[in-house]
Amino acid sequence: MTVDFAQEARVRIETRVNGRTIRAEVPARLSLVEWLRDELGLTGSHVGCEHGVCGACTIVVDGSCLRGCLMFAAQADGCDVETIEGAVASGRLAALQEAFYRHAALQCGFCTSGMLLTAAELLARERNPGRQRIREELSGNYCRCTGYQSIVDAVEVAARAQQEENGS
Amino acid sequence: MKPALFSYAAPRSLDEALVLLAEHADDAQILAGGQSLAPMLNLRLAAPDWLIDVNRVPGLDVIEETAEGLRVGAMTRQNALLDHVADAPDWSLLAQAIPHVAHRGIRNRGTIGGSVALADPAAEAPACAIALDAVIRLASVRGEREVPASDFFLGLYETAREPDEMIVAVFYPRPAPGWLFGFDEVARRRGDYALAGLCAGMRVEEAFVRDARLVFFAVGDRPTRARVAEDALIGRNVADIAARAAACAAARAGIEVMPGGDCGVEYKRRLVGVLLERQLARFEAMGGDRDG
Amino acid sequence: MEARAPSGEIGRARPDARTRRFLAGCGRFTGDTRPVGALHACFLRSPHANARILKIDAQAARRAPGVEAVFLSDDLARACKSWRTVSTAFPGLVSPTQRPLAQDRVAFQGEPVALVVAESRALAEDAAELIEVEYEPLPAMADYRRGLEEDAPLAHPETGSNRAWSLDVATGDVEAAFAQAACVVEDEIVFSRHTGVPLEPRTILASFDPSAQRLEARISHQMPHQMQAHLADLLDLPMSRVRVVAADVGGGFGVKMHVYPEEIAVCAATRLLGRSVLFVADRVESMLSDVHAREHVVRARMAVSDEGRITAFDIDDLHGIGAYSVYPRSSTMETVMAIRAMGAPYRFEAYRARANVVFQNKAMTGQYRSVGHPIAATVTERLVDRAARALGVDPLAFRRANYVRPQDMPLVNPAGLRLLDLSHEACLDRMMALLDYEALRGEIEEGRASGRIIGLGFAAFVEMTASGTEVYGQAGVPVAAVDTVTLALEPDGSLKAAASVAEIGQGIGQGIAQILAEGVGVPVESVEVALGDTASAPHGGGAWSSRGAAIGGEAAWGAARKLRGAILEVAAALTQEAADALDIVAGGVVDASGRERMTLRALAETVHFRGHELPEGVQAQLAVAHSYRRERDAAIPTNGIQASLVEIDGDTGIIRCRKHWVVEDCGRVVNPLLVDGQIRGGVVQGLGAALFEECRYDGAGEFLSASLADYLLPMAFETPDIEIAHVETPYSGSVIGAKGAGECGTCAAAAAFLNAVNDAIAPQGASISATPVTPERVLRALGRINGEGAP
């Protein structure tokens, strides 16, 4: 069959994704998270609501976490994009990953990428967030499984580990 | 939940953006942070022919602070402004209000100009702009103009911006000595749109109220000053309980509540009184501090 | 019955090894993989709650860019059958026939009308907008409280009534009990409709191989085997040619245990097209079409004797189930559990209940975590608190005086529940210690004295778990309640298992691995358990009714002991020792002195690679299977008590749950870390229902809360810390003694919370009997809005 994409506006982009430069032509209406998942195979970012509420698609763009469903791939031209895969590979999430694992801070795992990246941004900004502060910063990421407490525990423990590391 | 087809342009200069806007004014949407527009596109509640992405326009995200005030480029991200004003006493209203804008991931992308342009009646930025007596700077191929925030918000998602104009900056004049500011809102959950909110400014000299700007949001179809309540306070001592009660009663009675949503008119009206009463108590404490 | 070996892996708190992959961004959810050339599905859905379809014109859509096909109801009828929910457990149940796409009438907003299959989801959505449907709107049956009135609009015009089913239960002399009561309390409690909202939406990737007539469905589902059976039936294929794979499932909670029109439509489409088709429900269509639950209004009375003993309950339940009774299990299962679990923690003599189940022009309802129990727990515990208050006794003392005690069991109570192995008083003792009850009461009184509105509420509960074979078997519904584990020793000494229970995030794979490790005598790291693929896992139940440990665990234990026996037989032949003088410890065969005689690796290598070294006549059986069917008790009761501490802002009505406690008895705890995670998650789902969640429809049946900006879920900031303690009373009818643990958190959280709210506002003479408890409801109850009263 013939596929007619004639109407679909396409945009040429050059984007750094997890440290690699990617040149691509993307449909203008394609969201960043879908491009990463469907075209680049980076399926660690998940799509939970597509209207910016659930946080499952959290992606780091130019150093800040944002919603991958509320940014178009076309807008990533010239940006530095880091997904959960890149953040894991860099080792910067290691303390959080371990704390999440030990505290069973995930069950189904669908929210986990977003939780990790959001928690990492908090820990990069604040040395010693308390439980309520952690809850506040994670309040834009939905988890149906854990009831959040184990996630808060894990972030608290990772913050402590980070402090000790920095202190020594 | 995918957007309908649109043509996309990402101009690299303000002029280019304004030309595009002039050309497609009636069937274009400006894409700023996209934190409200992208959901509407995804849900196909908005389906413009053109999307003019102004994220590439240089210089629109600059924050300039002078003796006169704070000029915030329209594309300044909410969190960038928050970082700038975090410890600045003159901008305490912004510092208090911005953390209530959704969640970090949204604030990292959402812009001040975008929020002001959208004019969601429950948003914080428009109410802050009025309470700080800000000026909205607009540009088009026809030139630039300034509109006081108090004249900018005309109704539900309705502003004084013409279709071919875009906001380039919001200018917050530095408050004169004696101005105190407070922010509060009531929301079901952290980061939700408020059920009702208040941006309050009050100039206090020797414990007397000299001027006031009480801006309620998430109540009517736009952020609204409670002028009668302000008048009830001006000239009175911040500790004057009777004047405060009169102001609360006036605010409650005078405010226009937009019906709809999942909470009732009477409830919102009550929140208006509660928010003001609490804020006035805080002002009393703050005014006292300054005197001390 | 064989005694269980002491100590070891069963009971050890261990993180779930499976979760490592999610932490590395390497999950394998259904939507993560797709074959090249897979097509994307989009459904055109009804905008009306109730309407006749007069005409559908799909010509423009068929010509739209990227479109492979547009299917209407008749098109799919060539590839699959229709279905109708019937059950001998619910005689008289009237549920209309369902098809993958609506035929000539739509019965709820969001019902699929047409299926577009295109090169991308966006193109499919573009095309769907081009389909023109002419509807004749009919009056919508939205307010189910009017559903049984003479002139109520009919949810299904072809039926004469909105009544889907009704249930009457009567035991003992209820009239006499109420006539003789020293105290009668009553309430009418309104429960809002809410839904499960798993973060991963329903997803299916279906492929059909026309040459072999084989269907493969990769689906985010709780019961792959059940889907295999239904797909085979509805598409008229032998089960052997239907493979269902549930890879990582991003939450289920009951939402993903049904047969939905969309999934069947996608399988029919892939069969007609011979190409893979992917359907990922977006969030709005998930909200519109996932099963909802728990829309009830219950009028309830309870009689208490002059000794302060509960003597009778009288219940009238009206339950709105939406447009259809969900296939295959029926939405009425919730009605039954709500009615049967009333009063369950307590002794009473007489019970009368009527339940009317009403069709509505709303989304289907179905089993949602802790099916029906939250209704029963909330009603019961409201009445119990009301009685304690009326009698002027401490609410915990009142509960203690009325609990079903160990000496009362086993007991079939007047509501028809068979109760055994429960530990109410022990749980209460534990709770009082956990709370430091007297001190906490003191703090609350102090707070109240300074004007704060604070309350502490309790809810005791019984949760029926791990349903046995008779539940659906007697109903004639093809649902497996038998589970099987296959287990084999690999040449390197590791264990390869496959189980018919399913993983949806609850950690059952880890639990099964621990049971297998202890049962055989190997380190847990050497056990790998495969779940969720009908091509490798034996037929069985999947994930429902908190059954994994209680049923799947027994199957695992049986398989482990079989394999252990088989290994020891080989070891005996190789070592010239008697098999019963040998044991397996930490992956090695040891003799009576504890000396290791050989590693399992050495043994397995011998068997697999050097069989000729085995003595004559030894046929090693290092691959075993074990099935487990529980032979008594239709369900295993569990029990416990929850407590909730709330504070209300009397100016704004905003409620904060400050802290929540759970003491529960799920029998033997296989993995405390994971069980506690189940409880916490369940509690927060219950609190969500009590505080925030509501599927709101207007009077015309239009859904008003289809986005997550409108349907409020509990998030981290509003959620309290939850303290948990366990009392372990092993189930007496199994080896391990585990009971279900997955749903008890949800069972009573809302009940405890609602009691706490009422405890908080009772000093003001106010009460609330509806959930969610919105700020506005609180202020209305307190009389602070209605135009009166200054802040």
Contact C135, C56 (CB under 8 A): no
Q: Tokens 């009403």 correspond to what residue? A: C358
Give the tens place of pLDDT for each residue, C42-73.
999 999 999 999 999 999 999 999 999 999 99
Taking only residues 237 to 256 of chain C, the set having a beta carbon closer than 8 angstroms to any beta carbon of chain A reads: 248-251, 253
How sure is the predictor about B288, in pLDDT bands with cuts at 50, 70 and 90?
low
A22 lies in some domain: yes
- HEC sequence for C252-297: CCCCCCCCCHHHHHHHHHHHHHCCCEEEECCHHHHHHHCCEECCEE
**CA atoms in the 13 A half-sphere facing the CB of B95:** 11
Are A81 and A109 within one domain? no
DSSP element (H, E) containing C18 = none
Are A79 and A128 within one domain? no
ipTM above 0.90, yes or no: yes
Q: Give the model's pLDDT for residue C311.
A: 98
Q: How far apart are CA C326 and CA C337, in angstroms?
A: 16
Q: Give the model's pLDDT for residue C2.
A: 44
Taking only residues 5 to 24 of chain A, the set having a beta carbon closer than 8 angstroms to any beta carbon of chain B reads: 7-9, 11
Instruction: Give me the mean pLDDT over the C640-648 stretch.
Output: 98
Count of domains in chain A? 2
β-bridge mates for residue C112, sequence order? C45
Contact C599, C567 (CB under 8 A): no
| Interface touch B245/C709, C-beta < 8 Å | no
| Interface touch A136/B190, C-beta < 8 Å | yes
Per CB-CB distance under 8 Å, the chain B contacts of C787 are 266
A148 lies in some domain: yes
Taking only residues 8 to 67 of chain A, the set having a beta carbon closer than 8 angstroms to any beta carbon of chain C reads: 8, 27, 29-30, 37, 42-51, 53-54, 56
A160 lies in some domain: yes
Give the tens place of pLDDT for each residue, B180-233.
999 999 999 999 999 999 999 999 999 999 999 999 999 999 999 999 999 999
Q: Which chains touch C (3 or more CB pairs under 8 A)?
A: A, B
Q: Is B107 helix (H, G, I), strand (E, B) or coil?
A: helix
| Of the partner residues A51, A112, A139, the one whose CB lies closest to the CB of residue C23 | A112
Q: Is the pLDDT of residue A4 over 80?
A: no
Q: Is the pLDDT of residue A2 over 60?
A: no
A51 lies in some domain: yes
Per CB-CB distance under 8 Å, the chain C contacts of B277 are 791
Q: Give the model's pLDDT for residue B25.
A: 87
Q: Give the model's pLDDT for residue C34.
A: 83
Are A20 and A79 within one domain? yes
Taking only residues 52 to 91 of chain C, the set having a beta carbon closer than 8 angstroms to any beta carbon of chain A reads: 65-66, 68
| Of the partner residues A31, A64, A139, the one whose CB lies closest to the CB of residue B191 | A139
Establish if C709 touches chain A: CB-CB under 8 angstroms. yes
| Of the partner residues C121, C710, C785, the one whose CB lies closest to the CB of residue B270 | C785
How many beta carbons lie within 10 A of that of residue A102, not counting itself?
A: 15
Hey, of C280, C719, C776, which one would you mutate to test binding to chain B, going by the most B CBs within 10 A of its CB? C776
Q: Is C649 helix (H, G, I), strand (E, B) or coil?
A: coil
How many beta carbons lie within 10 A of that of residue C556, not counting itself?
A: 35
Domain range for A38: 10-87
Q: Is the pLDDT of residue C302 over 80?
A: yes
Q: Which chains touch B (3 or more CB pairs under 8 A)?
A: A, C
Q: Give the model's pLDDT for residue C343.
A: 98
Report chain C's C-alpha Rg in angstroms.
28
Q: Which amino acid is at B44?
A: R
Per CB-CB distance under 8 Å, the chain A contacts of B80 are none
A2 lies in some domain: no
- HEC sequence for C154-184: CCCCCCCCCEEEEEEEEECCHHHHHHHCCEE
Are A23 and A80 within one domain? yes
Q: How far apart are CA B132 and CA B149, in angstroms?
A: 9
Size of interface A-B (CB pairs under 8 A): 93
Per CB-CB distance under 8 Å, the chain B contacts of A50 are 1, 39, 42
Establish if A90 touches chain C: CB-CB under 8 angstroms. no
| Of the partner residues C15, C200, C709, the one whose CB lies closest to the CB of residue A101 | C15
A4 lies in some domain: no
| Of the partner residues B3, B10, B39, the one whose CB lies closest to the CB of residue A29 | B3
Instruction: Give me the mean pLDDT over the B224-249 stretch.
Output: 97
Instruction: Give me the mean pLDDT over the A77-94 stretch.
Output: 98
How sure is the predictor about A8, in pLDDT bands with cuts at 50, 70 and 90?
confident
Q: Give the model's pLDDT for residue C3.
A: 43
Are A101 and A51 within one domain? no
| Interface touch B188/C790, C-beta < 8 Å | no
A55 lies in some domain: yes
Are A20 and A44 within one domain? yes
Give the tens place of pLDDT for each residue, C277-287.
999 999 999 99
Q: Which chains touch A (3 or more CB pairs under 8 A)?
A: B, C
A5 lies in some domain: no
Q: How far is CA A6 from CA A1, A9, C59, C123, in A?
A: 15, 8, 20, 12
Report the gap between the CA of C651 and the closest CA in chain B (Å). Answer: 6
Per CB-CB distance under 8 Å, the chain C contacts of B246 are none
Establish if C722 touches chain A: CB-CB under 8 angstroms. yes
Per CB-CB distance under 8 Å, the chain B contacts of C712 are 188-189, 192
Report the gap between the CA of A168 and the closest CA in chain C (Å). Answer: 27
Closest chain C residue to the Cα of A7, Cα to Cα: C65
Closest chain B residue to the Cα of C286, Cα to Cα: B1
Q: Which of A34, A62, A87 is the last residue of a domain?
A: A87
- Chain B residues touching chain C at CB-CB below 8 Å: 1-5, 43-44, 186, 188-193, 195, 245, 248-249, 252, 262-264, 266-267, 270-271, 273-274, 277-278
Instruction: Give me the mean pLDDT over the B228-240 stretch.
Output: 97
Hey, of A90, A107, A135, which one would you mutate to test binding to chain C, going by the most C CBs within 10 A of its CB? A107
Q: Give the model's pLDDT for residue B291.
A: 43
Report the gap between the CA of A60 and the closest CA in chain B (Å). Answer: 9
Size of interface B-C (CB pairs under 8 A): 73
Give the tens place of pLDDT for each residue, C126-162.
999 999 999 999 999 999 999 999 999 999 999 999 9
Closest chain B residue to the Cα of A65, Cα to Cα: B105
| Of the partner residues B7, B102, B105, the one whose CB lies closest to the CB of residue A65 | B105
Mean per-residue pLDDT of chain C: 96
| Interface touch B105/A67, C-beta < 8 Å | yes
Q: Tokens 């509660």 correspond to what residue? A: B274
Report the gap between the CA of B22 and the closest CA in chain A (Å). Answer: 21
Closest chain C residue to the Cα of B36, Cα to Cα: C709
Q: Which of A44, A65, A87 is the last residue of a domain?
A: A87
Domains, chain B = 7-56 (3.30.43.10), 63-173 (3.30.465.10), 179-291 (3.30.390.50)
Protein fold of C19-27+482-628: Aldehyde Oxidoreductase; domain 4 (3.30.365)
Q: Which of A29, A63, A87 is the last residue of a domain?
A: A87
Per CB-CB distance under 8 Å, the chain C contacts of B245 are 790
Give the tens place of pLDDT for each residue, B52-70.
999 999 999 999 999 999 9
Per CB-CB distance under 8 Å, the chain A contacts of C514 are none
Q: Tokens 């009238």 correspond to what residue? A: C316
Hey, of A30, A33, A65, A67, which one would you mutate to test binding to chain B, going by the most B CBs within 10 A of its CB? A67
Are A71 and A28 within one domain? yes
CATH number at residue A66: 3.10.20.30
Q: Specify the higher pLDDT residue, A7 or C450.
A: C450
Q: Tokens 């689906």 correspond to what residue? A: C219
Per CB-CB distance under 8 Å, the chain C contacts of A84 are 24-25
Are A64 and A106 within one domain? no
| Of the partner residues A50, A69, A137, the one whose CB lies closest to the CB of residue B104 | A137
How sure is the predictor about C429, in pLDDT bands with cuts at 50, 70 and 90?
very high
Q: What is the distance between the terminal CA atoms of chain A, rounded to a whole angstrom?
A: 64
Contact C679, C743 (CB under 8 A): no
| Of the partner residues C65, C68, C677, the one whose CB lies closest to the CB of residue A107 | C677
| Interface touch C791/B248, C-beta < 8 Å | yes
- Closest by CA to A116, choosing from B157, C618, B105, is B105
Establish if A136 touches chain B: CB-CB under 8 angstroms. yes
Give the tens place of pLDDT for each residue, C668-712.
999 999 999 999 999 999 999 999 999 999 999 999 999 999 999
Give the tens place of pLDDT for each residue, A143-154.
999 999 999 999
Q: Give the model's pLDDT for residue B262.
A: 72
β-bridge mates for residue C221, sequence order? none
- Closest by CA to A17, choosing from A47, A46, A39, A48, is A39
